[in-house]
Amino acid sequence: MRRIYIAGPMTGLPEYNYPAFHAEAARLRALGYIVENPAENPKQPSWFMYMRQALRQMLTCDAIALLPGWANSKGALLERYVGQMVGLQILRAGQIVTEEQDVCPA
């Protein structure tokens, strides 16, 4: 079973975009993935601490699922960059329809 991390925009969005993160996590779990969802993490005192926590979490994964709007997010851009540098598969979340499917990279 593959472990996948969800990345996307949070800062400045209503409810920090948590509903989109939670919906995608539920969808991916229903497909059989082990999902690391940063929206489920404990509160942190600053953006920097959130990112440190998120990057540690992401590095336990095989792939990153990018939510819509990821390219406008400083954090998601950082997660995508680090993920690429360490060889994680980078995918657009909406294109993942089965656990084993090969999807076009983001």
Alpha helices by DSSP H, 1-106: 18-30, 47-58, 74-85
Q: Which amino acid is at 99?
A: E
How far separated are the first and last CA of the chain, in Å rounded?
21
pTM of the model: 0.91
Token reading at 19: 């509903």
pLDDT of 101 strictly over 60: no
Convert the pLDDT of each residue in 86-97 to its tens digit.
999 999 999 999
Q: Which amino acid is at 28?
A: L
pLDDT of residue 106: 57
- Percent of the chain at pLDDT > 70 equals 92
- Percent of the chain at pLDDT > 90 equals 91
Burial of residue 15 (CB within 10 Å: 0-12, 13-18, 19+) is exposed
pLDDT of 103 strictly over 90: no
* DSSP secondary structure code for residue 100 in this structure: S
Domains and CATH numbers, the chain: 3-95 (3.40.50.10400)
pLDDT of residue 100: 63
Convert the pLDDT of each residue in 28-68 to its tens digit.
999 999 999 999 999 999 999 999 999 999 999 999 999 99
66, 80 contact by CB (below 8 A): yes
